[in-house]
Chains A and B, each alone.
Chain A
């Protein structure tokens, strides 16, 4: 079972993992007012205990730029089966990574870092460590994936401090150390030269 939005959000905050401004809405009016309060553009996505991959059911809509668009988005998202509501989130620009935790039959809790987003399976650019990890381990993990180039000022992108991503890995390590879980997916984790956000999370218990 996937933990619901509020429980997940509580856990992320407890370990200092930053989430972009997000509101949980249940009707069109709430959707448009929350979106304008957060500030456009926003991302809207379904909140569901069942859908492990929201994009596969068309459950994530990006680049919503007005109140009207927010209302239309709400209508189409709420038609998706097993949807318990809609999340309106500040759209963050930057490079995407995935951070995951799973229980390995041989080593117990292991953490994964990869080049993220919806194509994570295509690129298969991932590396692992046995938990718990320290910052030094986290920095080494970053060096092991090809996606590290995205942080190094790739093609005119701003350079991004690698220790921001390492900090997230270490925080997830302590989360996994203390909380109950089977699998955790933080995807995408979005970084830009100013901030690092966990934009989506799935904690499976």
Chain B
């Protein structure tokens, strides 16, 4: 981990401002002092939110770990030169107007890349949203806030998708260790971030959004060397969307079938949507895989149980039949009944994972059920997945309880399928 970027002691925001609706203000609002010194650089303002500003980074006494740059294109060269003079430990270039806009931009990008590389200063971006590490209270981005901390590292070639994920984060119980916007990857590339996340003690699972990679073999080798589970959402599968990708980030989209095969070869899991990416990621961030072939289902609703059984069967997941499986404990099932059925199911050797379905019927006690499932999860070292269907007040309480105790919940058997397969190492 490059601590000057990923856990800096001093950060300078170049292009800091209090101007409404600006990128510079977004970064200022996101970056809290929390044990680190923050400096604002703006030659046109004496103060920002009552805090002193500097004309340029070289005016600051003492060292600077990280410079975050959000200045207009014409000021970039000068600012980069000053960062090199100041010997900063790392640079994040948020500003756009580089390779993504064409030849001229590409030249400009190459120029700053060369300068920083010969000064041995690592570069994130340009044309990126920035970096967020909830685990160490760092947010050097203009994203709409900081999500809660957790075990997921999210590495994305789209800044907009990061915004969308963060904006919806309040509804989720999972959290993040690292969120990084790759941007044009002139300096550090997607492979560097994967290696960093793999070595990060707060990260349990790595989620990627990818449009294209520059060096297929390097990417594959990185995946093969990664110890933690990697889940990939790949865009640019069809010819039309490929065109949009090329003009969007200036990266190359490879032929999809081959890319998909390379993901399998690298041991990565491929997700088909953003929802699926995080459905799988939350399961793997909370629970360890348990290699196996069989799942046990306990349900208080016959229909939901059959739906899940069908899905598992279609995907060659066995439902061991030592006891009924799915085990339907009927609509009037009490928490005691749930507990007995779950214990009977999970203790079987052939059952590698327990899936508990609950439909909210009149006599159902969701929170009490959740508490008993949590106990069972603690007692057995096997994955447990919940499918508490519905979103009434009582059910929500139960779902939050489950997820606070690392049991992922899915609103629909279909959404639980891939996470279940991932947890028993069948994806």
Q: Do A and B bind each other?
A: yes
Q: Report B197-234 CB contacts with A as 1/0, cut-off 8 Å.
A: 00000000000000011011100100000000000000
Decide: B217 and A108 in contact? CB cutoff 8 A: yes
Decide: A129 and B254 in contact? CB cutoff 8 A: no
Which residues from A are CB-within-8-Å of B213?
A: 106
Q: Report B255-285 CB contacts with A as 1/0, cut-off 8 Å.
A: 1011101101100000000000000000000
Decide: B255 and A104 in contact? CB cutoff 8 A: yes
Q: How many Å from the CB of A24 to the closest CB on chain B?
A: 35
Given A106-B254, A107-B254, A127:B261 Cβ within 8 A: yes
Q: Chain B interface residue count: which class?
A: 10 to 19
Decide: A130 and B257 in contact? CB cutoff 8 A: no
Q: How many Å from the CB of B30 to the closest CB on chain A?
A: 35
CA distance A106 to B265 in the complex (A): 15
Interface of chain B, main secondary structure: helix
Which residues from A are CB-within-8-Å of B212?
A: 106
Interface residues of A in 90-124 (CB under 8 A from B): 104-108, 110
Which residues from B are CB-within-8-Å of A130?
A: 216-217, 220, 258, 261-262, 265
Q: How many Å from the CB of A158 to the closest CB on chain B?
A: 24
CA distance A128 to B257 in the complex (A): 7
The reply to whether the CB of A126 lies closer than 8 angstroms to some CB of chain B is: yes
Q: Across the A-B interface, how many residue pairs have beta carbons closer than 8 Å?
A: 44
Interface of chain A, main secondary structure: strand
CA distance A144 to B261 in the complex (A): 10
Q: Chain A interface residue count: which class?
A: 10 to 19
Partner of A110, one of B215, B252, B258, B264: B258
Q: How many Å from the CB of A106 to the closest CB on chain B?
A: 4
Q: Report A157-176 CB contacts with B as 1/0, cut-off 8 Å.
A: 00000000000000000000
Q: How many Å from the CB of B426 to the closest CB on chain A?
A: 12
**Can you spell out 22 A-B residue pairs with CB atoms less than 8 angstroms apart?**
A104-B216, A104-B255, A104-B258, A105-B252, A105-B254, A106-B215, A106-B216, A106-B252, A106-B259, A110-B258, A110-B261, A128-B257, A128-B258, A128-B261, A128-B262, A129-B261, A130-B216, A130-B217, A130-B258, A130-B261, A140-B264, A144-B264
